[in-house]
Amino acid sequence: MEFDIMVGPNRWSDAAELAVTAESAGFSGLMFTETGQTPWMSIAAAAMAAPSLTYSTGIAVAFPMSPMVAASLAWELADNTQGQFRLGLGSQVRAHIERRYGMEFDPPGPRMRDYLHAVQATLATFRGDAKLDHRGPYYQLTMLPQQWMPPSHDHGDVKVDVSAVGPWMTHMAGAVADGVHVHPLHSVHYINERLLPAVAEGAASADRDPGEVDLLIPAFIVPGDTPEEREVLAHRARTQIGFYGSTKNYAFQFDDLGFEGVSSRLNDCIKAGDMNGLAATITDEMLDTFAIVGPWAEIADRLIDRYQGLAERVISYLTVDDIAANPNNVSKWRDVATAVTTA
């Protein structure tokens, strides 16, 4: 099981510095999100500073980019990282796609499926496996003159992953993608009872082995030997869990576990701008369900107990925050990373 760090927007120099720290601390890789900044340049800066790490996007927003652009970026990064790159794609939500990017969104599921096929067809063309001839319902890519082909390299089998939560998208991921970016708001019950069966059904529909589909799982990790030491990250985790959980589409994550009505209460807090109330709504029981909480010496075992056999890669959601606030904790994260990756 690989152990990565989730990274948000930052300057290239900061990305490079973080990569060096992560490499020295025994982490497996860095996963870059896309919010207020695209991930590509930061990945390039980080990869040049720490070439042994695996780099991924978790996720890059697909619909504002042509599938050709996404495949070209992935191809270039795979080459320059010596194959240590995974392309993670996601649909985002309607408001962002239509009103922030000015692009088409509907229907997001079928559009994303066609997008993945188009990216995969383009990568196959780059590898020399086939002529570019993707004719889907939303994307048509049928021309790639030789002078526009990217330079060939030996790392063309780029894995293309997709974010998926609900049954339609997880089924599609099982049929089409190399991996699934599991939502940070998840329980083991959700993974076993909802996600994996849908992925298996999707894989069966495409005559694939479901074991071919990797799970990339972000985890809220809250280490500390006293409640006081854990307080900052615990509050950060409660707030983020509450923010995600306020979305009505994710209410089932609470309802399945007997926490009925929680999502509605979280949504009320969001509407009122009550972020303290939002965090307070997430009880200790909920926090233990959706996060890994405990003394430093127990964190690795708890990660292994929860995710061994499920996750190809576990991605620590809060490590960047903790290292920034507590640089001396790098050695403690090194112990966790070493234990997880060698288990």
**Any idea where the domains of the chain sit in the sequence?**
2-225+290-342, 226-289
Helical spans, DSSP H, in 100-246: 108-127, 167-176, 188-190, 196-205, 227-245
Gyration radius of the chain's alpha carbons: 20
> Residue 93's closest CA among 105, 111, 75, 84?
105
pLDDT at 313: 98
Determine whether 33 is exposed, middle or buried from the number of CB atoms within 10 Å of its CB (0-12, 13-18, 19+).
buried
pLDDT at 211: 95
Is there a contact between 241 and 218 (Cβ–Cβ < 8 Å)? no
Backbone conformation region of residue 247, classed left if phi is above 0, alpha if psi is from -120 to 50, else beta: beta
pLDDT at 189: 97
pTM check: above 0.85: yes
Q: Which regions in the chain score pLDDT beneath 50? A: none
pLDDT at 162: 98
User: Rounded to an integer, what distance in angstroms lies between the CA atom of residue 50 and that of residue 287?
Assistant: 33
Is there a contact between 201 and 164 (Cβ–Cβ < 8 Å)? no
Residue with tokens 């408001």: 95
Q: Which CATH architecture has domain 2-225+290-342?
A: Alpha-Beta Barrel (3.20)
pLDDT at 82: 98
Is there a contact between 245 and 266 (Cβ–Cβ < 8 Å)? yes
